[in-house]
């Protein structure tokens, strides 16, 4: 397996990887940990992920040798002397990570931040000011930059609750209270695609419902509030989204089952309705594979007469996949660049 460009840049600076207790945050490459073990053979290595697929890839290979954590909140009794952060997809999420990690960093710990130029990594030094004794650009190659930041030992207590953004969305005169952590899709507002989907939901939804790629849980919460006879499952690959969806359900005094899944990997049983505003970005890159795999695998989880309804940018050619893999597909709406695709199992 080839290493990503950020990982290759890190390994060009192998001397910086020497430490006793390194913490690697958001690494997309399980192979990187083999190189890290070779560079620091006596180190007690930890991996922290908010991406369930990446966590599984690493944990399946190294769980007996490395402390592998998947959670919305990393906590540790170990003080890490090195943190390697792969710059996340949003600047606010990077600030969230720094605030969360500060209490578990050793005095004068080194923070290595690496990322692609197009992904916002150039702002890392400025965004790190609150926790920075000194910083410097170490290397750049393969359209990536590596920064070294020396921790200033300012470690105020981290309170996860303070990082939720609360807002209200209104659809068809019904209000949903939403809680969203940094980095979660459509943080702080109702996106146009989800709004269009909720305005064109099938009538009379009942029974078991799956919200695939739930984000902050708006779709599943809305469906459960409108249709009290539904039993809603929500899944996402992102730990921050899962925590947000659980909080959204609680704010609206609703019940639902929220869980992590890499696509349909943890989905069991069958549903009467499946709804989704599926993601088509992985980090800063466009990626349709997850949604196409979902559409090709969901039929075995649909009951007879079940419905599938998704919203997508109207340039995405999902309708032929739905027709080929599930059932004849109709378009319920096509507005402002978004289309609603709907089918029913016969």
Per residue in 267-300, pLDDT tens? 999 999 999 999 764 444 455 788 999 999 999 9
Contact 211, 236 (CB under 8 A): no
Are 91 and 235 found together in one domain? Answer: no
- Structural domain ending residue among the three candidates 122, 141, 160: 160
Contact 222, 214 (CB under 8 A): no
Residue 338 has pLDDT above 60, yes or no: yes
Tell me which residue of 23, 26, 32 sits closest to 1, measured CA to CA: 32
In this prediction, residue 285 carries a pLDDT of 47
User: pLDDT tens for residues 169-192?
Assistant: 999 999 999 999 999 987 678 999
| CA end-to-end span of the chain | 42
Which helix (H) or strand (E) element contains residue 293?
Answer: helix 289-297
Poorest-confidence range of 83-87, 284-288, 324-328?
Answer: 284-288
In this prediction, residue 189 carries a pLDDT of 82
Looking only at Cα atoms, what is the longest distance across the chain?
Answer: 64
Are 201 and 269 found together in one domain? Answer: yes
Query: How would you label 109-126 residue by residue, b for 16+ Cβ within 10 Å and e otherwise?
Result: bbbbbbbbeebbbeebbe
Tell me which residue of 32, 103, 45 sits closest to 74, measured CA to CA: 103
Helix (H), strand (E) counts: the chain: 10, 18
Q: Phi-psi bin for 337: left (phi > 0), alpha (psi -120 to 50), beta?
A: left
What's the whole-model pTM score?
A: 0.95
Range 204-215 average pLDDT: 96
In this prediction, residue 282 carries a pLDDT of 46
Range 18-28 average pLDDT: 97
Q: Total domain count for the chain?
A: 2
Residue 174, Cβ neighbours under 10 Å: how many? 11
Are 152 and 172 found together in one domain? Answer: no
- Structural domain ending residue among the three candidates 160, 178, 196: 160
Distance CA 195, CA 219 (A): 9
Are 240 and 98 found together in one domain? Answer: no
Residue 1 has pLDDT above 90, yes or no: no
Following DSSP, what letter does each residue of 166-230 receive, concatenated? EEEEEETTEEEEEEE-TTSTTTTS--HHHHHHHHTPPTT--EEEEEET-TTTHHHHHHHHH-TTE
Are 264 and 131 found together in one domain? Answer: no
Q: What is the CATH number of the domain that holds 177?
A: 3.40.50.150
Query: How would you label 194-223 residue by residue, b for 16+ Cβ within 10 Å and e otherwise?
Result: bbbbbeebeeebeebbbbbbbbbbbbbbbb
Are 202 and 148 found together in one domain? Answer: no
Residue 281, Cβ neighbours under 10 Å: how many? 12
User: pLDDT tens for residues 94-130?
Assistant: 999 999 999 999 999 999 999 999 999 999 999 999 9
Are 109 and 185 found together in one domain? Answer: no
Distance CA 274, CA 260 (A): 16
In this prediction, residue 281 carries a pLDDT of 45
- Cβ neighbours of residue 4 under 8 Å, at least 6 residues apart? 28, 29
Contact 326, 302 (CB under 8 A): yes
In this prediction, residue 283 carries a pLDDT of 46
Mean pLDDT of all residues in the chain? 94
User: pLDDT tens for residues 48-73?
Assistant: 999 999 999 999 999 999 999 999 99
- Cβ neighbours of residue 88 under 8 Å, at least 6 residues apart? 26, 94, 97, 183
Residue 220 has pLDDT above 90, yes or no: yes
In this prediction, residue 2 carries a pLDDT of 85
Are 85 and 175 found together in one domain? Answer: no
Are 82 and 188 found together in one domain? Answer: no
Domain that holds residue 154: 5-160
Are 11 and 41 found together in one domain? Answer: yes
% the chain with pLDDT above 70: 97
Are 100 and 114 found together in one domain? Answer: yes
Following DSSP, what letter does each residue of 112-169 receive, concatenated? EEEEEGGGTGGGHHHHTGGGEEEEEEEEEETTEEEEEEEE----PPP-GGGG-EEEEE
In this prediction, residue 242 carries a pLDDT of 98
- Structural domain ending residue among the three candidates 115, 137, 160: 160
């Amino acid at each position: 397996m080839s290493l990503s460009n950020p990982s290759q840049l890190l390994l060009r600076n192998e001397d910086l990887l020497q430490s006793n207790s390194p913490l690697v945050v958001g690494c997309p490459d399980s192979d990187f940990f083999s190189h890290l073990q070779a560079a620091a053979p006596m180190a007690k290595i930890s991996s922290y992920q908010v991406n369930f697929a990446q966590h599984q890839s690493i944990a399946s290979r190294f769980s007996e040798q490395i402390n592998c954590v998947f959670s919305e909140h990393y906590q540790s009794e170990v003080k890490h002397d090195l943190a390697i952060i792969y710059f996340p997809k949003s600047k606010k999420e990077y600030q969230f990570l720094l605030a969360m990690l500060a209490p578990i960093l050793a005095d004068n710990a080194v923070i290595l931040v690496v990322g692609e130029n197009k992904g916002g990594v150039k702002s890392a030094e400025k965004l790190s000011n609150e926790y920075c004794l000194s910083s410097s650009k170490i290397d750049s190659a393969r359209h990536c930059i590596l920064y070294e930041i020396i921790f200033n030992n300012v470690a105020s207590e981290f309170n996860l609750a303070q990082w939720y953004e609360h807002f209200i969305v209104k659809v068809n005169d019904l209000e949903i209270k939403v809680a969203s952590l940094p980095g979660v899709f459509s943080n702080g507002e109702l996106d146009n695609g989800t709004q269009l989907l909720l305005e064109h939901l099938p009538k009379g939804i009942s029974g078991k419902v799956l919200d695939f790629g739930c984000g902050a849980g708006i779709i599943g919460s809305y469906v459960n509030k409108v249709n009290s006879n539904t039993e809603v499952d929500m899944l996402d690959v992102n730990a921050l989204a899962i925590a947000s969806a659980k909080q959204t359900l609680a704010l609206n005094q609703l019940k639902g089952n929220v869980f992590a899944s890499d696509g349909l990997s943890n989905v069991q049983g069958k549903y009467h309705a499946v709804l989704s505003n599926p993601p088509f970005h992985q980090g800063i890159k466009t990626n349709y594979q997850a949604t196409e795999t979902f559409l090709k695998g969901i039929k075995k989880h649909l009951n007879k007469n079940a419905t599938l309804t998704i919203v997508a940018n109207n340039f995405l050619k999902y309708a032929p996949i739905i027709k080929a893999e599930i059932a004849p597909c109709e378009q319920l709406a096509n507005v402002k660049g978004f289309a609603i695709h709907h089918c029913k199992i016969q």
